[in-house]
Every structure is written in C-alpha cells, then in structure tokens.
Amino acid sequence: MARYPWWRFEPHREWVEPHWSKENYNQPYAAGIPREVRVIFIPPSWNPPKIARLEADITYQATYFDPATGAPHPAGPAAGDASGEWQAPIQPTFADWVLVLDRRAPT
C-alpha cells in the first residue's frame, strides 16, 4: 500500500454504495485518484458494497487487503457495467477490509 501517492488522494464517498454518513459512520469509505486508484475501507459486513462511477474505458485490478496483517487477496478485474457500477465480491472473512482498485498491473 505504501507505493501509492497518498498526498494526491481525495475523498470520494460517491464511489461506493452504501457509504458513510453523519448518521451512520459504520459504512464504507472511499478515496483515491480518478482514473488511477480507488481505495475503499469496508467495515465488517456480509454484504459487499457496489463500486460506483467507474470509468467506461478502464478495467481495474481489484485486491482485498487485510488491514491487520497487510496480506493481499486478489479479487479479480473490476469494470463498470452500463451504469458504471461493479459489485465487489464478498470479503474473505467477516472483518475490516480494504479494497483497492488499481489501474496498474499488480507488482
């Protein structure tokens, strides 16, 4: 995760549904750099979020990261449907997870 230019990240709660609100902070949070990388924090849930507003001309590589250990878990390619949405697969376990959509090939 340290390879990303964090200083360029901006919050984008519109990138994930459901997303946090003042009424419910226990929902996913999203940030990143449009057309490059999206990082979504997902609190424990059996219902993975939908990723929204994906660019039609980009397929991202999706990876779950365990924030407790840093272990990656590949989640496959992520491309938007006709409305720009992609349904994230269920997380590996019932715990906090970070989902990264990276335009670059994994290293």
Tally the domains of the chain: 1
Decide if 52 is inside a domain: yes
* Number of neighbours of residue 28 by Cβ within 10 angstroms: 23
Question: Looking at the whole model, is its pTM more than 0.75?
Answer: yes
Query: For 71-100, b where at least 16 C-beta lie within 10 A, e where not — what string?
Result: eeeebeebbbeeeeebebeebeeeeebbbb
Range of the domain at 68: 8-102
11-59 residue pLDDT tens: 999 999 988 778 877 889 999 999 999 999 999 988 999 999 999 999 9
Decide if 49 is inside a domain: yes
Q: Please report, for the domain that includes residue 14, its CATH number.
A: 2.60.40
